[in-house]
Chain A
Amino acid sequence: DAGVTQSPTHLIKTRGQQVTLRCSPISGHKSVSWYQQVLGQGPQFIFQYYEKEERGRGNFPDRFSARQFPNYSSELNVNALLLGDSALYLCASSSLSAQETQYFGPGTRLLVL
């Protein structure tokens, strides 16, 4: 079985630009969560989507938005990038029967210059 996949693997942007990150969950998983991991820290929760509806939002500004598609894949958008947005962005998926058990993708490493 394929695990959670994310694209792109690496991205370099400049301040003020916009970025879209993509995630495909494990087959059969309907819940997708996004986390930001700054170097040397634990992942911080950004969003959770289940059945295409937002179920939770972390303490991130409105520049961050996300959506989930009918095939349960998801996109994370970040507008007006700041230097501090440089981080590893992780996507995690979970199944209906064990929603708390989250499996992470390899992440997208974003560098904002």
Chain B
Amino acid sequence: GENVEQHPSTLSVQEGDSAVIKCTYSDSASNYFPWYKQELGKRPQLIIDIRSNVGEKKDQRIAVTLNKTAKHFSLHITETQPEDSAVYFCAASRNSGYALNFGKGTSLLVTP
């Protein structure tokens, strides 16, 4: 089955700096790659996603890049703010509606 590895497990940055979280996946048939943000005690919230026919996608301060050949994708957060502090999960899945396979998460701390 699919194996998603996520690095780093913890990340501490100063407010205004950029943060990068990287994931690799094993199943070459995976074609959908979402990122979720989970604050303490809250539900995972979808923040951005990318499909395999696209190499990069941006939404304001957040961007995701995908390298299908190398089977890795990354989340980039620019101009970080304290409210960006949370656990971020990457995931991968095949086709429509199949199971999401999650990484183990990255705990991001943005200090003022």
Q: Spell out A's residues near B (CB within 8 Å).
A: 4, 31, 33, 35, 40-45, 48, 50, 55-56, 58-59, 90, 92, 94, 98-107
B47 at the A interface (CB under 8 A): no
CB-contacts of B71-106 with A (<8 A): 89, 91, 93, 95-105
B97 nearest in chain A by CB position: A99
Is B54 interfacial (CB-CB < 8 Å)? no
Contact A100 B89, beta carbon cutoff 8 Å? no
Given known A-B contacts A43-B89, A50-B97, A94-B97, A103 and B105 have beta carbons under 8 A apart: no
Count of chain B residues with Cβ under 8 Å from any Cβ of A? 26
- In the complex, what residue of chain A is closest to B99 when comparing beta carbons? A45
Interface pair A42/B89, CB less than 8 Å apart: yes
| 19 A-B contact pairs sorted by A residue (CB < 8 Å) | A4-B43, A33-B100, A41-B104, A42-B104, A43-B89, A43-B102, A45-B101, A48-B99, A56-B99, A58-B99, A90-B43, A90-B44, A94-B97, A100-B96, A102-B34, A102-B100, A104-B44, A104-B45, A106-B43
Whose C-beta in chain A lies nearest to the C-beta of B102? A42
Q: Which residues of A contact B89 (CB under 8 A)?
A: 42-43
- Do residues B101 and A100 form an inter-chain contact, with CB atoms below 8 A? no
- From the candidates A4, A35, A100, name the one contacting B97 in the complex (CB within 8 A): A100
Q: State whether B100 touches A45 (Cβ < 8 A).
A: yes
Contact with A along B38-64 (1 / 0, CB 8 A): 000011111001000000000000000
Please name all residues of chain A whose beta carbon is closer than 8 Å to the beta carbon of B1 when the two chains form the complex.
Answer: 59
